[in-house]
């Protein structure tokens, strides 16, 4: 049996050492340490790693960290929502999002042409510039071919970007597929619709991409899922693992709770009832703000992997 230990700061404390100390503090700190351990096991045991996240995390400064993790080969498959695609492209082309407050006057912000995401602010002009950019991109894609699976289309766009901190760019460069099953749920989808009105033979094939994510792994491969937040991005990945025998490793990080009955709040243990996660799998569910919990757990894992010569 393990016992609670008092945590104390020490000079030169590394993130790995901090996270190691979490194992005996209590509550969510123990689960966060377990999450770091599961991530290490995924990598050491050559699991195919699905990294999923919602668009608000790309709004935040985690965007560059995700791109870095792709470069470090800590993610083999990405699943996200279309807002994350849009905002990655915006940032790759120089747009900056401001830090505001959760308590700002939203009516006043609307009058100023500012959109609030929690305590982050995005100007309408950022979307206008994005929209101006998309039609020429779709023209290039259309000239190359008329029918695209979503992941192939996103790879092609990624190759057009020249930003080392771009998720799309790093994924395209490192041959990591990005799946976005709800590609029409945003400005990107609206402009796909407008483009298709003039080019009726231009097709973005979501069903074909479902086949692509299923074929991206197999029953025989070890599979790991790191799901940040919930939504379709989380479910799309664990559905793919379900249809390929279930995940061997799973880390869920969310602010939602299991009592909601939602996909966002569903724990790794609940996933076992569906066969999405294997009965004997290594799992962790961390409740808390992903902008805090994920960097701690992942950096703790990265420092351990680096010590072991695996990075």
* DSSP code string of 252-299: EEES--GGG-STTT--HHHHHHHTSEEEEEEEEEEES-HHHHHHHHHH
The answer for residues whose C-beta is within 8 angstroms of residue 77's C-beta and 6 or more apart is: 48, 49, 50, 51, 176, 177, 179, 213, 216, 217, 237
Q: By residue range, what is the domain housing residue 267?
A: 15-94+135-307
Q: What is the DSSP secondary structure assignment for residue 221, as one 8-state letter?
A: S
What is the pLDDT tens value at each position of the chain, 311 positions in all?
889 999 999 999 999 999 999 999 999 999 999 999 999 999 999 999 999 999 999 999 999 999 999 999 999 999 999 999 999 999 999 999 999 999 999 999 999 999 999 999 999 999 999 989 999 999 999 999 999 999 999 999 999 998 999 999 999 999 999 999 999 999 999 999 999 999 999 999 999 999 999 999 999 999 999 999 988 999 999 999 999 999 999 999 999 888 777 777 777 778 788 887 887 889 999 999 999 999 999 999 999 999 999 98
**Residue 254, φ and ψ in degrees, nearest 5:** -160, 160
- 273-289 pLDDT, tens digit per residue, is 888 788 788 999 999 99
Active site residue 140: no
Q: How many CA atoms does the CB half-sphere of 217 hold within 13 Å?
A: 30
Total domains, the chain: 1
Buried b (16+ CB within 10 A) or exposed e, 124-159: eebbeebeeebeebbeebbeeeeebbbbbbbbbbbe
Q: pLDDT at position 217, please? A: 95
Q: Does residue 58 belong to any structural domain of this protein?
A: yes
Q: Does residue 122 belong to any structural domain of this protein?
A: no
CA 88, chain centre distance (Å): 12
Catalytic residue among 33, 48, 276, 278: 276
Distance CA 78, CA 66 (A): 10
Which among 251, 220, 228 has a CA at the least distance from the CA of 43? 251
What is this structure's pTM? Answer: 0.95
Q: Does residue 60 belong to any structural domain of this protein?
A: yes
Which residue is associated with the tokens 């995700």? 66
Q: Does residue 285 belong to any structural domain of this protein?
A: yes
Q: Does residue 116 belong to any structural domain of this protein?
A: no
- 149-202 pLDDT, tens digit per residue, is 999 999 999 999 989 999 999 999 999 999 999 999 999 999 999 999 999 999
Q: Assess contact for 310 and 74: CB atoms under 8 A.
A: no
Q: pLDDT at position 280, please? A: 82
Residue 216 sits in a domain whose CATH number is 3.40.910.10
Distance CA 225, CA 52 (A): 8
Q: Does residue 250 belong to any structural domain of this protein?
A: yes
Buried b (16+ CB within 10 A) or exposed e, 12-50: eeebbebbbbbbeeeeebbbbbbbbbbbbbbbeeebbbb
- 242-258 pLDDT, tens digit per residue, is 999 999 999 999 998 88
Q: Does residue 256 belong to any structural domain of this protein?
A: yes
Q: pLDDT at position 187, please? A: 94
- Which H or E run contains 237? helix 231-242
Sheet holding 98-99, edge to edge: 98-99, 120-123, 114-117
Q: Does residue 110 belong to any structural domain of this protein?
A: no
Q: Assess contact for 59 and 87: CB atoms under 8 A.
A: yes
Q: pLDDT at position 258, please? A: 83
Q: Which residues partner with 253 through β-bridges?
A: 228, 286
């Amino acid at each position: 049996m393990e016992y609670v230990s008092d945590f104390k700061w020490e000079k030169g404390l590394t993130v790995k050492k901090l996270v190691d100390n979490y194992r005996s503090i209590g509550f969510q700190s123990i689960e966060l340490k377990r999450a770091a351990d599961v991530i290490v096991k995924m990598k050491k045991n050559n699991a195919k790693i699905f990294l999923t996240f919602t668009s608000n995390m790309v709004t935040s400064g985690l965007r560059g960290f995700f791109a870095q993790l792709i470069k470090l080969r800590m993610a083999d498959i990405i699943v996200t929502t279309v807002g994350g695609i849009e905002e990655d492209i915006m940032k790759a082309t120089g747009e900056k999002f401001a830090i505001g407050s959760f308590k700002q006057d939203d009516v006043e912000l609307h009058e100023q042409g500012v959109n609030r995401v929690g305590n982050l602010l995005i100007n309408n002009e950022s979307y206008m510039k994005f929209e101006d950019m998309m039609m020429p991109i779709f023209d290039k894609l259309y000239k190359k071919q008329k029918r695209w699976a979503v992941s192939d289309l996103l790879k092609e766009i990624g190759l057009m970007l020249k930003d080392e901190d771009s998720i799309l760019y790093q994924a395209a460069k490192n041959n990591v597929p990005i799946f976005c099953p709800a590609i029409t749920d945003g400005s990107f989808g609206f402009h796909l619709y407008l483009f298709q009105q003039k080019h009726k033979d231009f097709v973005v094939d979501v069903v074909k991409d479902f086949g692509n994510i299923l074929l991206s792994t197999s029953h025989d491969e070890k599979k790991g899922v790191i799901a940040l937040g919930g939504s379709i991005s989380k479910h799309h990945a664990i559905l793919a693992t379900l249809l390929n025998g279930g995940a061997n490793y799973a880390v869920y990080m969310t602010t939602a709770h299991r009592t909601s009955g939602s996909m966002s709040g569903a724990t790794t243990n609940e996933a076992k009832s569906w066969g999405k996660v294997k009965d004997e799998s290594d799992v962790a569910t961390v409740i808390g703000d992903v902008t805090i919990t994920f960097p701690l757990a992942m950096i703790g894992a990265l420092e351990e992997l680096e010590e072991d010569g695996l990075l």
